[in-house]
Amino acid sequence: MAFLESNTTGTGREFCGAARARGLRPVLLAKDPARYPYVAEDAVEVRVLDTSDPAAVSQALDGLAADGGLAGVTSSSEYFIASAARAAARLGLPGPDADAVSACRAKDVQRARHRAAGVPVPRHRAVTDAEAAVDAALFLGGPVVLKPVSGSGSAGVRLCRDARETRAWAQRLLADGTNPRILVEEAVSGPEFSVETFDGAVIAVVAKHVGPAPYFVETGHDVPAATSAATVRALGATALRALAALGLGWGAAHTELRWSAGGPVVIEVNPRLAGGMIPVAVRAALGVDLVDAVVAGAAGLASAPPVPGAGYAAVRFVRARHEGRVTAVRGLAAAAAAPGVLSARATTEAGREVRITHSFQDRLACVVAEAPEPQQAARRALAAADLIEIAMDTLPAPHASRERAPVR
């Protein structure tokens, strides 16, 4: 089972474990395997190559196919989902439609297809310079959200309240060099949710907790969302409409929405399994193993039937409060031993330099807890997260925390 690159955090490690549990031999194709500490710890077989080069990827996969056969190709990294889909199609292996995935990765293309299909999305404009961003904000009126047209994990996403903030943030994003165009869209108010789907069926509606404006860094998740049945149905139906408009439906998808005054509004569709430990929480709460389902689907195998779950699960993150160098990570064992806790892990270690990027990279540790009712799961996760301490030295003055567009 070939994996084209991997998540650096979250469930990336679990994909290889799921493959082994299915009797498959996981092989990671990576440009820099050292980015994934679990590879050495779990003795995962690796092929080192330029994974951005389709010819190099094809050659490596052909070699694996000739060496005992290749069951499937997939990726847990959003940036390589489309490449994995194209490789799978070339080899006649299961996978999503690569063109649909590629179109989905461009947020402006995704927005246009949704609007054409009548799917509720924010009003928006795609621009290529800062002054055009200011013009778009004036046209849309009120606060706007600026974001790269491609990206994930809230990287580069910011609420801008006036022309000065819009111009400054647009300049930062465009100066990054990886953002040829950016999206300017109206800010939608209301609670945030995600809908987790697999093969066109709704698996879970998740309530999302987001940090303070002007950024949108996720601070936790509740599975399933403790909201009305009518709200759950409306969110699920809107997510399925959004997938259909993009030509998606095979395998996993993670659709983010806001519940506005007028009902559900699609913020974005991600043609992949959710990050942020949501699959672990779904498995705990509902007994559905989405990681295994992705691996099984890519290998042409049937998904495992659900097993009884705890009912509810919650994820809470420990975030960096300032920039610095990590001197110690304490409290992980205590957090892991706390009532209802399934997982307590750090995504940093002593010696690491921490920068505030206002993205998922600011999350330094996380806890997943389960319980038979939602408030108890949330309390358990938060209490355990409070036991984790990330000790840091303050960086010298030239490196003091400052607002920046994160480098992905």
- Cα-based torsion angle of the residue sequence 307, 312, 318, 321 in order, rounded to the nearest 10 degrees: 150
Q: Are 232 and 253 in contact (CB under 8 A)?
A: no
Give the span between the Cα atoms of 96 and 83, in whole angstroms. Answer: 11
The residue ranges of DSSP E strands in 34-115, in sequence order, are 45-48, 73-74
Which of 13, 105, 111, 272 is flagged as catalytic? 272
Query: How far is 342 from 335, CA to CA, in rounded Å?
Result: 10
Query: Which ranges in 126-228 belong to alpha helices (H)?
Result: 130-140, 163-175
**Exposure of 178 by Cβ count < 10 A (0-12 exposed, 13-18 middle, 19+ buried)?**
middle
272 is catalytic: yes
Give the whole-angstrom CA distance, residue 83 versus residue 85.
5
81 phi and psi angles, rounded to 5 deg: -60, -45
Q: Are strands 341-346 and 363-371 parallel, antiparallel or unpaired?
A: antiparallel
Q: Is 151 exposed, middle or buried (0-12, 13-18, 19+ CB in 10 A)?
A: buried
d(CA 289, CA 88): 22
Locus of tokens 């600011």:
362
Active site residues: 272
